[in-house]
Structure formats: C-alpha cells, structure tokens
Chain A
Amino acid sequence: MPLPTDTDTTSPTYLRDKYAIVGVGETAYMRGSGRTTRALATWAVRNAIEDAGLKPADIDGMLSYQSGDSVFSPFVAGDLGIRLDFYMDVFGGGSSTEALCGMAMGLIEAGMCRVVVIFRAMNGYSQVRIGGTGVRAAAPISGDMLHSRTYGWQSAGQMFSPTFMRHMYDYGTRPEQVAAVKATHSEHASNNPKALLKNRVTVEDVLASRIICKPLHLLDCCLETDNANAIVLTRAERARDCRHPPVLIRGVVGRCNKPRMDMHYQHGPISTVAGRFAREILWRNSGVGPQDVDITGSYDAFTFTTMLQLEDYGFCKKGEGGDYVSDGTIRLGGRRPNNTSGGHLCEGYTHGINMVIENVRQLRHDVDDSCPPGPDGRRLHTYDYREGGCRQVRNAEVTANLGWAMPGTGSAMVMRRG
C-alpha cells in the first residue's frame, strides 16, 4: 500500500528510510550440512556481499548472534579477507535480527563503520539441536534453571506452551485455527525451491500429527535446520549504487519486553506477548500502522507464535488471532500474506533472519520462486500461486517482520521498497 503522507514527528523520524538492506545471502537449508558453522557463515556472508554488488573490502562492520553454538565474526571476516572497524557477537536467538539491524543503523550513525554484515550460522539439526535434545538436555541444572529444567520445562515448546494454552482458555482459540498457519506456510514453501519441506499439508494433517507437548503437535513446531544466513546494511544513499533496488528500513524496535522479563509468567495476562509493548515503538518509529503493511513476517517457531504476534502488534483485535490466521488473510493471494517463503515451519529454522531476507526479496519484486527469468535476468512473475509456481506478492511496498525470543521478549522491523 502507498505510505501515508502525514507521519508522527515525536520519534526519530530522521532515521526513517535513511538505512537500507542492500544484500542478502544464505546457504542451502539442510539436515546434516557436513560443514562447520564457520564454513556455513563464510558462504552466506560471501553470497550476501556478492548479492549487494559489493566486495569484501567494502565491509567494515560485522554483527552476529548465537547461543554458544556458532562461529564468531573475526573468523568469518578473516576467512574473507575483511578488515573490520567494528564487530560484536551477541547472545541471542529469535528477535536478534531486527534488533541487530537497529544496532547497525546506530553504529553507522555514530560513525563507527559504514557497511555492516549481520549473520547467523547454525547446525541446529546436526550439532547443537534447537529442540534442546542432546548436549543442552544433559547439562547440569543450576541457578534460575532450578525452577524450570528441574521440572522437565526446558525446550522452547515446553516453555511457551502455558502462554498458548492460556490464550485458548482466555479467548476460545481453537487448534484447527492455529493449525492453519502451518497449512498456509506449507503452501508458500511449495513455491520456494530452497525450502526444506516443500510438500503441502492440511489442517487435518497438523491435528493428526503426534502431540509433542499440549497444545503443540509435531507439525505445529518448526524444523531443526543446518544453515547460515546473512544481510548487508548501509546508508540509503550508498544503496543507490548497489545491484538491486534498495529496501529501506522504516523503523525498528529491538528486544522489547513485558514486565518481569526474568520470569514473565509472574505478570499477566500471560496470553499477551511482548508485541503489545513493542508495537508502541514500532509504529511510532515507522510512521505507519498495521493497515499499511502488505506482507508480514511473524516468527513461526510454532504456529501459535505467528498468531500471538499478529494479534498483539494490532493486525486484528485482541483475542481474534485465531480468526485472523485462518480466514485466508495470511495466504498468498490474501490481503496480507505471512512468511511467504514458508518460514521456520517449512523453509527452515534460522532464528528469524530468513524471514527478513524473504521480505527484502519481496520488496525487490524478485523472490526466488520457479517463475522463468526475463531478458533482464529478473523473474517474470505470474502471481497465480499454484503449487510449484509463483510466490511474489503483487506491488509489495511495505513489510513488517515480527521477531520472537519468547512470550516476554520481541523485536520488529518495518521495511519498504525504495
């Protein structure tokens, strides 16, 4: 949709559209990469720099996030011959990408560097498993975890489920409504040649899959994946010289929290998530609202996380998230498609960065589906969304990525076509 002309002036409006994502890159999504996270990261960063039409020597800042399961920036930079003026490797999973984009803007704004690469590399299937089995489940229990892991309350699914269950209790949300998120994302993934799971599944398939921990069936959960992803961020004026149409960052909010982030369940309502607080910053900084957004990237660690965030960022009324995700709105061809790549449920799990990459490609009007390339090398999109076909959203102008760390913490970013 076109942007509104009158925008709020109480926030740092001078930052709106001042920074851009100019390059995106990734490895394949795999189960059993057979490579180190250092090798995966090196490939993804190299691909992103090339996508931007830049050279390694143009990069002078690097940020990454991890949970003790990945390579650090200096090794990746060294392997690509990059001399850094700044780097930082932070602890974090979901919600880190959008937060680091905001930090990269601040770094450049502060004059500390000029072109920043952000990456995430993980062997989430073949090394440190994202589901928590193996090394993580065997570690001794101490500190705050005495009040959680001791009770068999450890994995992301186990930790978040009391929130999901309470939403069903508070608002009457039904399993089949939420299962529609997986069915929808599987349709999107069937048009994404790089998705790990490309087969379409139905709501019935989700409900018939085995229970992991209530209310989550196996198909309500994302895919443990080996992969690396990277993005290149710089000033908008620099972006004009890059290979692709620039994708401008309109506004960000990073790692915004509910009260009692140490144990957010102490502060209710527990069926409300951090998006309730983050939205106040996101929409104010962006100068747009939910009604202006063409595509969402609402984090789908689980079907429920997509629904809860869309609701609390204001894409529907509180309590109506179940209707919103099951009435066709979030499908390709619907009013506001979500996770057009198939997201974490189908493309692969990356802690959120692949959803930002997908929206960058959408805003370039050049997603990597199966449509044939035209004379200029860009795909000739058909917009028919049949299985194995197009997944480009027509006239995409504004996207919103809604990152999730846990019910009490989230980040978000609005981007627009430059």
Chain B
Amino acid sequence: MDIRANHLGMPLDISELDRENLTYFQYCAAHAFHLQACDACALIRYPPSTACPWCASPDARWVPVEGRGTVHSYTEVHHAIQPAFRAHTPYLILLVDLDAQKGQPTADEALRVVGNLATADGLLAPPEMIRNVGIGTRVRMVFTDVTSGLALPQWTIDEAAPRSAPPWRYPQE
C-alpha cells in the first residue's frame, strides 16, 4: 500500500510499486537502520536500489548497519527554496561516510548517507549546534518519526566520540 505523509508541511508519497524504498523506510520507522547487502558480492549499498552497483546481481537481503560515521561534506542553507524549510534556516545537509564499509570496494568509496543535522530527538538542529559541525565531525544516526511505516534517518553529534581536531568549516560564518 502507498504511504502518504507530511513532513514539515511537505507531501511525501511512496508508491507501493517502490518496494525498495518502502522496505528501507519501514526499517527506519522501527528506528533500525538497514541497507541492502548483495547476495553475490556481499557489498552493502546506498541508497536502496534494484541491483548491485558493483556486480549487477538483483539478489540482496536487508542487513542492520550501524548508524555511525564522519561528516564527509556538507552545506549550510541560509536561503531555503522549499517553504517547509524557511522557518528552520540555517539548516545543515550532511553527507556522512558510514564507518561500515568505508574505503570499500575502492579507497574513494564509502556509504555516504544524507541527512540533516538534528537534535538527539530528531528535530532540526538549532544554530548554536550547527556552528560546531563541519567536515570531520563524528555523528550518529537518529530518526525523525513521520507516520506509521515512515521515519527519516537524520544525524546528530556523537557526544560519546573521542575528541579530535576541530571540524573544517567554511571560513565565513
């Protein structure tokens, strides 16, 4: 069955034909991040898809993946184009390298999972939190509940991570 929902005032519509996305978001709804692992070559892939991007096998199973990683790059949006986000600027869009499978199958590859910077409760992060995050920040996954069968994976600062060098941020604040 289709999932129709509303997130920050935006209509989301997952067709019942879109089996990969339905399954992906159903796991998220249970706050259990899962991705497809290829039966043939064992590599995990993101985002959900019908075949393996490395070996083209259509056979895969959903496996739990730890939602922990490092910010690979980001943008900080000050001028929202979607009305839903206008009340939430500035907001961060993060590309996060998962620790799982980083550097595989080649050194330049990683499972780079998109999300906003959020609070531990899954709400869009306030400006004072945003100022502490950049390339290199350690983050952990949290979920924003949208409706039955649909939650969105998001990222928050991993407070338990060992302190390292300050993250790289765009020079102009």
Return the CB mask of A165-183 against B: 1 if under 8 Å, else 0: 1101100001100000000
**B75–A165 touching, CB < 8 Å:** yes
Known: A137-B81, A166-B72. 8 other contacts (CB 8 A): A133-B81, A141-B11, A143-B21, A146-B12, A150-B10, A175-B171, A213-B79, A214-B78
CB <8 Å contact, B15 and A142: yes
Instruction: State whether A162 touches B75 (Cβ < 8 A).
Output: yes
User: Does B74 lie within 8 Å of A162, measured CB to CB?
Assistant: yes
Closest 6 CB pairs of A and B: A161-B75, A268-B108, A162-B73, A140-B11, A166-B73, A152-B85
Taking CB atoms and an 8 Å cut-off, the chain B residues in 133-173 that contact chain A are 135, 152, 168, 170-172
Tell me the nearest residue of chain A to B15, going by C-beta.
A142
Task: List chain A residues, Cβ under 8 A from B83.
Answer: 137-138
B53 nearest CB across to chain A (Å): 6
Q: Would you call A163 an interface residue if the criterion is a C-beta within 8 Å of the partner chain's C-beta atoms?
A: yes
A169/B135 in contact, CB under 8 A: yes
Alpha-carbon distance between A260 and B54 when the two chains are bound, in angstroms: 10
Complex CA distance for A150 and B154, rounded to whole angstroms: 11
Chain A interface residues (CB < 8 Å from chain B): 131-133, 137-138, 140-144, 146-155, 158, 161-163, 165-166, 168-169, 174-175, 207, 210-215, 260, 262-263, 265-270
Tell me the complex Cα distance, A270–B95, Å.
11
**One of A141, A146, A212 near B78 (C-beta < 8 A):** A212
Say which residue of B18, B25, B53, B77 sits within 8 Å of A213 (CB atoms). B77
One of B46, B73, B114 near A165 (C-beta < 8 A):
B73
Q: Among the interface residues A155, A169, A213, which one has the most CB atoms of the partner chain B within 10 A?
A: A213
Is A131 in contact with B81, judged by CB distance below 8 angstroms?
yes
Residues of A within 8 A of B53 (CB): 260, 262, 266
Chain B residues positioned under 8 Å from A155 (CB to CB): 81
Contacting residues of chain B (102-149) with chain A, CB-CB under 8 angstroms: 106, 108-112, 114-116, 135
By a CB distance below 8 angstroms, the chain A residues around B115 are: 151
With A265-B95, A266-B109 as contacts: A152 and B80 at CB distance below 8 Å:
yes
Residue of A nearest to B124 (CB): A152
Q: Indicate if the CB atoms of A142 and B13 lie closer than 8 Å.
A: yes
Also in contact, A154 and B74, with CB within 8 A (given A211-B172, A263-B47, A266-B111):
no
Point out which of B25, B47, B82 has the most chain A C-beta atoms below 10 A from its C-beta. B82
Shortest CB-to-CB span from B136 to chain A, Å, is 9
Shortest Cβ distance from A215 into B: residue: B170
Task: Identify 14 residue pairs between A and B in the complex whose beta-carbon atoms are under 8 Å apart, listed by A's number.
Answer: A132-B81, A133-B81, A137-B83, A147-B114, A151-B93, A152-B80, A162-B74, A169-B73, A211-B172, A214-B170, A215-B170, A266-B53, A266-B110, A270-B95
